Chains A and B, each alone.
Chain A
């Protein structure tokens, strides 16, 4: 069966499948089918990490290295799609991306707020889902730290 050479994740990001080995492609296909037929979120959530770990068992990869493989990322995204499709989780939005950005690039929320000019109180409300940021405020704040907003195609279910 011919498999597309890219995978689009829930955030609309392209993950290239071009360099995958045959066993890796086979496992992604197997897990795609497993996600389609699973009835319980836990069943699929328990299955794919086991299969991915088995796949790399002979390669002496560390856990973080396995976690960064294309297969792990695709399987995890299949897991997330499963949860969203069953109404058990919501699609990630700009607030989730903001939280990730803060975690990855700043030591504290305070440091992020100082760099962007956002108030800590406002950020707290936004990340807790109680308030939204106006688009121009978000755009200006992100611009100050070298980031920008852009519109991307929505990922399919």
Chain B
């Protein structure tokens, strides 16, 4: 029997839209519901870490220091599903109005950007 390798992935979704890209307001509940539905369907679930994660980064466009608060999601995915997760987060970037989403795959960090197949 082939044992599929399962990888722990975590990603952060800020609770507000990007202030430069968008208006910096809280997300509507539809966005969170959409993300939950996708994770439920595609990866059979997720765990959300308690509380909010405070962080900051330098905006690549404005060069300003930006502070944010994020929810941390943890999902277990097979290696063959990693691209599926990247694609989901790329769509999430647009949905949550973020320039990128921080994704950690077994400790390796990637910044996932929106996939601009069409104008946002």
- A: which residues have CB within 8 A of B? 10, 40-43, 45-46, 49-50, 53, 63-64, 66-67, 76, 79-80, 83-84, 87-93, 95-97, 99-100, 108-110, 120, 124, 127-130
Contact = CB atoms under 8 A, between A and B. Distances in A.
Interface stretch (B37-45, B59-67, B104-112): B37-45
B23 A128 contact: yes
A41 B29 CA distance: 13
Contacts of A63: 40-41, 44
A43 B50 contact: yes
A49 B29 contact: no
Interface of B: 15, 17, 21-23, 25-33, 36-37, 40-41, 44-45, 47-52, 71, 95, 97, 117-120
Contacts of A88: 15, 26, 52
A93 B29 contact: no
Interface core residue of A10, A45, A97 (most chain B CB under 10 Å): A45
